[in-house]
Amino acid sequence: MKAHTLAEAFVRGQWHGRVRNYFMATVNRGNGPDYYANGLGAGARFETAPLHGFQLGAGGFSGRTWPPTTWPRPSPPREP
């Protein structure tokens, strides 16, 4: 929906958000350690409504390993 004033562009603006998860694992043969990691991220963005053909947007995204640990983390040793 188009805005007619700058204030209206902000009032009619929209928030967008997202959450992402990423899991990675290696499975090695024999007695070598198996490694795994899990990452979790979240972000938010705001966009104004169009005003005279222009829009303004700003956002950010942050990601971390979850649960917080040192990476990579080897699996427990396997029995021979």
pLDDT digits (tens, 9 = 90+) for 15-42: 999 999 998 888 878 777 777 788 899 9
Residue 27 belongs to some domain of the structure: yes
Task: Evaluate whether 29 touches 3 at the Cβ level (below 8 Å).
Answer: no
Residue 40 belongs to a domain: yes
9 burial (CB, 10 Å; 0-12 / 13-18 / 19+) is buried
Q: How many CB atoms lie within 10 A of CB 79?
A: 5
pTM here?
A: 0.63
For range 3-21, the mean pLDDT? 95
pLDDT over 70 for what percent of the chain? 82
On the question of pLDDT at 62 being above 90, the answer is yes
Rounded CA-CA distance 80/63 in Å is: 37
Number of domains the chain is built from? 1
Q: Which domain holds residue 40?
A: 6-72
- Is the model's pLDDT at 51 over the cut of 60? yes
Say which residues have a Cβ less than 8 Å from residue 75's Cβ, sequence separation at least 6: 33, 34, 35, 36
Residue 78 lies in a domain: no
Mean pLDDT rounded to a whole number for the chain: 85
What residues are paired with 7 via a beta bridge? none
The residue among 23 and 73 whose pLDDT is bigger is: 23
Note whether residue 55 is domain-resident. yes
